[in-house]
């Protein structure tokens, strides 16, 4: 299973990468949305974890790209400090599958990623 982690904060990105590796995923990472776009063009991923506020290309822009340009239905989980209702709603309207506000427990993240992948695979079958 391949996971792409997109986070501009180095410490948070490393923590997310570490947790996903502990859970047995092949982890790829980007420090902004533009870098993520280039990585996404190289192959398929089973889940995308993305921050909201990043330089050059926001998490919302990234959701738009995945859904509209790549035409991918991969699970997208927004991981951000922003918990404002309008931001949460915008993410879901654009096609996010889940939304986690920081701080969160690593166990919660693991479970949400696992459940998102299971739901996605069930839709495919």
Quick: pLDDT tens for 68-117: 999 999 999 999 887 778 888 999 999 999 999 888 899 999 999 999 99
Give Dmax over CA atoms of the chain in angstroms: 37
pLDDT at 10: 96
Alpha-helical segments (H) within 23-105: 33-40, 59-64, 85-94
d(CA 86, CA 84): 6
pLDDT at 22: 97
The tens digit of pLDDT for each residue in 14-27 reads 999 999 999 999 99
Q: Which CATH number fits domain 2-117: 3.90.1150.10, 3.60.10.10, 3.40.50.2300, 3.30.9.10?
A: 3.40.50.2300
**What number of CA atoms fall less than 13 Å from residue 66's CA on the CB side?**
31
pLDDT at 100: 93
Domain ranges of the chain: 2-117
């Amino acid at each position: 299973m391949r996971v792409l982690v997109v986070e501009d904060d180095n410490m948070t990105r490393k923590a997310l990468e570490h947790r996903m590796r502990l859970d047995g995923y092949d982890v790829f990472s980007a420090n902004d949305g533009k870098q993520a776009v280039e990585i996404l063009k190289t192959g398929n991923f089973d889940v995308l974890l993305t921050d909201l506020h990043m330089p050059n290309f926001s998490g919302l822009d990234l959701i738009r790209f995945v859904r509209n340009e790549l035409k991918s239905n991969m699970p997208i989980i927004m991981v951000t400090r922003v918990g404002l209702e309008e931001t949460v709603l915008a993410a879901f309207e654009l096609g996010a599958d889940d939304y986690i506000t920081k701080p969160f427990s690593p166990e919660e993240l693991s479970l949400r990623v696992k459940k998102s992948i299971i739901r996605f695979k069930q839709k495919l079958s």
